[in-house]
Amino acid sequence: GEMIGMMIASALVRQITSRLIKIAGDEISLQWKFKGKVDKMVEKMKYLAAVMHDADEKVRRGGRHGEIVGLWLMKLKSLSHDLEDLLDDLDTKNNEAKLKVFFSRNNQAYQWITRPRNLEDLGKRIEEIKNEGMSFNLDPEARVEQSRKKETFSANSDRGTTAGMQGRSAEKDKLIRLLLRTEANKISIIPIVGLGGIGKTTLARSVFADKRVNVFDIQAWVFVSEKFDLHKIVRTIIRSIDTNINLDSNDLEFLHNILRGKLAGKKYLIVLDDFWEEDVDNLEELKQMLQHGSNGSKIIVTTRQQSVVKKMTTGYLAHETERAILPVHESDRINLGVLPTDDCWELMKIRAFGPDDDQIPFEQIGYEIASKCGGIPLVANAFGKVMSENKDIKAWQDIKVRMVDLGLRGEHQKDTLESLKLSYYFMKLEFKICFAYLATFPKGFIMDTNRLIQQWKALGYIYSEHDGKSCIDYLLGMSFLQISGPPSASQSVAHANASVELTMHDLVHDLAKVIIGDEFLVLDADDATGLRTSKKDIHCRHAELIQYKNQSEVFKYLPKKLRSLHIRDSQKWQLPRKAFSRSKYMRVLDLACSVGQISEGQSTSSKIRLPRSIKKMKLLRYLDATGLPVSSLSKSMHTLQNMETLIMSNCSLETLPDNVCSLHKLCYLDLSGNRSLNNLPTLLGKLSKLSFLNLSGCSILQEVPKSMCQLTCLQHLDMSECRAIQNLPDKFGSLPNILFLNLSGCSKLTKLPDSVNLESLKHLDLSSCHELENLPQDFGNLQNLVFLRLSDCYKVSVLPETFCQLVHLKYLDLSDCHGLRELPACFGNLSELHSLNLTSCSKLQVLPDSFCKLFKLRHLNLSYCMRLEELPRSLGDLKLELLDITAVTLHDLPDSIRGMTTLTQLLVSSAQEAVLDKGVLNP
């Protein structure tokens, strides 16, 4: 793992050098008495950044020389971290000085910046390291990164599932046959067995999402992982049946009873993904929990171990006569073998080439690389993505030469890890550090995209949200990240802006752990001796604290230079006041409590306060206290002038202190689910950098401050389920940069501001605004709107004339608008419309003639439009793929429908079949 730890060093040195140049060039620093010293440091770091590539090469070639350079890189890595701490410290002082100058108009303020204590020491260390480096004769000109072609994220999430199925169609059909097979007196377990990275989960996901398996009453997906936790499994199943259920108690008996009620008489399909458990008693207990489904229920288990399947065939419940739970017969089990080279090459091509690339010159070399992937799709995907970055024969030759030949003996997962290491070596430089950071999340952890990007930003790995999205796309492209959870047909655009949830493959997690090496520690609050040694850990920059149950002495042992701390799965707790008094370099503090551990109706006595020592963390940029019963923030919050992300979701906040508005760098504020929050600070508009604000579920908040209209950087505003809000400030309609606005469930809102000029808005959700009577006349000004949801707006009877100017609108949902009498005559001008839902618009009698101009319309749902008696004559000219006319009492269908060759789904109800029988559609 050593070599890899150094790879990250070179990425760090470059990143920190560019920051150093930026800070040293700041106007304030010209006034520092010690400016000369900092400038010398800049020069030396520039030299070091230039020789990094050659240093990487020498380490990679190995041998004694490589080893020495490697140790030198490790020293350099440690120095870079310390240098960055110094920079952040100076930066913070710079900003304080700027404020002082601003208020006192006195230029002397600059002189107050004291010389940082460790400046001399760092200067000496850089000098020594540079001299040592010079003795290695490193070449500053060695391979400069090739200029990147336009990036193609070809195998992006949407193509991911189909692309991943290369060479597995027989297995998929077999699995679906087994799922649909009816069996008396038993619940079958269908194992999918194979190596890590071979595609077990991909196969299960693709079947789970297949329309053919929609015969089950209940479908649930559980990620199990090496640590078998029955509570977690049962909770996950219950939650996927009933999302709103309150599961206060952690008592297994209590959970078992709920599950029994939910599964009784139901035919279920449950996927247990990544299963390792072999303890017979645990397996028996799990089967007991699952035996309440009806016959024909199925359990899919993905596992790397045949022995797990063997153990499942034992035990009392496997031989029960009434309802046995046991694996299917051996010949029906699905064993995924390694993929043939042809299929690996096909997988790689999907990722490596864009639609216009000439593939011919690459055929031979590409095929040779594919033959070295050991038939493991995970490896093929990672290399395909890396190859797409460097599309030239020489670069590919280089990759081929260095690949460990996995042959087809993939049983050695060590070799798979070696291959993945190599793909990491070739990975895009700026994303290497971001990837290594993923090791700080436990295996199987579900990461929220937005929060992950904010953490990367807080640690200085990326500069903007856009960089973060590119990095996530890139890692998805390499299969180093995967979109979490069961794929469902309904993962439509409805959630285009909902934050996507991500997980990592186990083997990829192992890789990240190897890379981050001793920079990351897991601190176990129960293990006192382990804690004492961790304090001495000079390299540690990231830590995860587990098993914390108010053992307050734990905090004495936090490594001094920690940059991120994650406190995970702790039960009800109080942090000591001085918890963080020594953590002055902390950038990310993640205290998010997994919701469900803290019960819904928390009594006031159990309110907690955030420790006072938080104010010592001058460099803190990210604080997440989701789920902690905190009723107010401390008055000293405003001292955290570097704060960029503040997440206080599902806390018990009643009010926000006014001085939060002086956090001038704050760009991400999440206050969702604070059901006791009754007002926001009047000066909210002073948060001039705020781009993300979530107030969803603040159900007693009656108004938002007028100053909110000054938030010119705001891009994402979620006010869904703010049920007490009656009106919005007049100028609300002129937020210049807003892209996403969700007002669904604002059930007291009677009108929107008269003028709406939200020229950037793409996504607007007004569903369930029950009191909203009409849309503003100039609604058509929302020129860039792509997605509009107005379902359950009962009082809206007509749409404004200007509605037809929404020429970019693709998705329109008007379902359950019971008052809607007609659509505007010019409705056909919505030329980009792709999907239209008019379900249960019970007053709608006709569709306008212009309707037949919607040539891009693919999905049309008219079900339960009870008064709709006929469809426009030339409806058949449209290229519809889905038409739903369930329970519409049509006298006749237009003849033109007969010519619709594009339809893949036509949904009707029995009464209409007579109309259809007139030979309109041949089945």
pLDDT of amino acid 434: 93
Token pair recorded at residue 272:
């247990």
- Where do we find the tokens 């979490």? 484
Give the C-alpha separation, 45 to 48, whole Å: 5
Task: Indicate if the pLDDT at residue 403 is higher than 80.
Answer: no
Closest by alpha carbon to 740, among 713, 769, 764?
A: 764
Strand 482-483 and strand 501-503: pairing? antiparallel
pLDDT of amino acid 102: 56
pLDDT of amino acid 326: 81
Please name every residue paired with 436 in a beta bridge, in sequence order, or none if there are none. Answer: none
CATH topology of domain 341-426: Helicase, Ruva Protein; domain 3 (1.10.8)
Top-confidence residue, 586 or 36: 586
Token pair recorded at residue 19:
């920051």
Q: Do domains 168-336 and 341-426 have the same CATH topology?
A: no
Strand 564-567 and strand 882-884: pairing? unpaired
Average pLDDT on 895-916 reads: 70
Q: Crossing angle for the helix pair 413-425 and 506-516, nearest 10 degrees?
A: 60
pLDDT of amino acid 305: 82
pLDDT of amino acid 859: 94
Domain segments of the chain as ranges: 1-98+110-136, 168-336, 341-426
Do 72 and 84 contact (CB within 8 A), yes or no? no
pLDDT of amino acid 729: 92
pLDDT tens column, 678-705: 999 999 999 999 999 999 999 999 999 9
Residue 353, CA distances (Å) to 160, 373, 563 in order? 15, 18, 39
Average pLDDT on 845-865 reads: 92
Give the C-alpha separation, 265 to 295, whole Å: 8
How far out from the chain centre does Cα 272 lie? 22
Local structure of 377: helix, strand or coil: helix
Q: What is the mean pLDDT of the chain?
A: 82
pLDDT of amino acid 150: 33
Do 215 and 180 contact (CB within 8 A), yes or no? yes
- Where do we find the tokens 């436990």? 442
Average pLDDT on 868-877 reads: 85
Other Cβ atoms closer than 10 A to 324: 17
Closest by alpha carbon to 378, among 405, 338, 408, 323?
A: 338
Rg, C-alpha atoms of the chain? 30
pLDDT tens column, 427-458: 887 888 899 999 999 988 889 999 999 999 99
**Residue 408 confidence class, pLDDT cut points 50, 70, 90:** very low
**Backbone phi and psi for residue 742, each to the nearest 5 degrees, phi listed first:** -120, 115
Strand 447-448 and strand 501-503: pairing? antiparallel
Task: Indicate if the pLDDT at residue 901 is higher than 90.
Answer: no
Give the C-alpha separation, 285 to 280, whole Å: 9
Give the C-alpha separation, 775 to 798, whole Å: 9
Give the C-alpha separation, 42 to 22, whole Å: 10
* Cα angle, residue 595 at apex, residues 592 and 599 outer, rounded to 5°: 125
- State the alpha helices, DSSP H only, in 752-828: none
Give the C-alpha separation, 628 to 625, whole Å: 6
pLDDT of amino acid 916: 56
Please name every residue paired with 766 in a beta bridge, in sequence order, or none if there are none. Answer: none
Give the C-alpha separation, 616 to 618, whole Å: 6
Token pair recorded at residue 742:
């969700």
pLDDT of amino acid 661: 92
pLDDT of amino acid 604: 42
Local structure of 329: helix, strand or coil: coil
Percent of the chain with pLDDT over 90: 30
Residue 210, CA distances (Å) to 170, 285, 490, 546, 756 in order? 15, 30, 12, 39, 42
Provide the 8-state DSSP code for 492. Answer: S
Is 168-336 assigned to CATH 3.40.225.10? no
**Residue 213 confidence class, pLDDT cut points 50, 70, 90:** confident
Local structure of 647: helix, strand or coil: strand
**Residue 420 confidence class, pLDDT cut points 50, 70, 90:** confident
Do 860 and 904 contact (CB within 8 A), yes or no? no
Token pair recorded at residue 589:
């503090």
pLDDT of amino acid 725: 93
Please name every residue paired with 520 in a beta bridge, in sequence order, or none if there are none. Answer: 542
Local structure of 590: helix, strand or coil: strand
Mean pLDDT check: name the lowest of 251-255, 415-419, 795-799.
415-419
The residue length of the chain stands at 923
Task: Indicate if the pLDDT at residue 144 is higher than 50.
Answer: no
Local structure of 785: helix, strand or coil: coil
Cα dihedral 743/749/755/758 (nearest 10): -10
pLDDT tens column, 780-837: 999 999 999 999 999 999 999 999 999 999 999 999 999 999 999 999 999 999 999 9
Other Cβ atoms closer than 10 A to 323: 16
CA atoms in the 13 A half-sphere facing the CB of 354: 11
pLDDT tens column, 565-622: 999 876 566 788 888 888 889 999 999 875 444 444 444 446 788 888 888 898 999 9
DSSP calls for 381-410: HHHHHHHHHS-SHHHHHHHHHHS---TT-T
Closest by alpha carbon to 702, among 746, 659, 743, 671?
A: 746
Where on the phi/psi map is residue 634: left (φ > 0), alpha (ψ -120 to 50), or beta? beta
193 contacts: CB under 8 Å, gap ≥ 6 = 200, 302, 303, 304, 305, 306, 309, 333, 334, 335, 336
Per-residue three-class SS string for 664-709: CCCCEEECCCCCCCCCCCHHHHHCCCCCEEECCCCCCCCCCCHHHH
Please name every residue paired with 861 in a beta bridge, in sequence order, or none if there are none. Answer: 837, 884
Local structure of 403: helix, strand or coil: coil
Task: Indicate if the pLDDT at residue 303 is higher than 50.
Answer: yes
Strand order in the sheet with 482-483: 447-448, 501-503, 482-483
Percent of the chain with pLDDT over 70: 86
Token pair recorded at residue 303:
């596992």
Give the C-alpha separation, 435 to 204, whole Å: 26
Mean pLDDT check: name the lowest of 31-45, 157-171, 555-569.
157-171
Average pLDDT on 137-164 reads: 46
Q: What is the pTM of this model?
A: 0.80
Give the C-alpha separation, 116 to 440, whole Å: 30
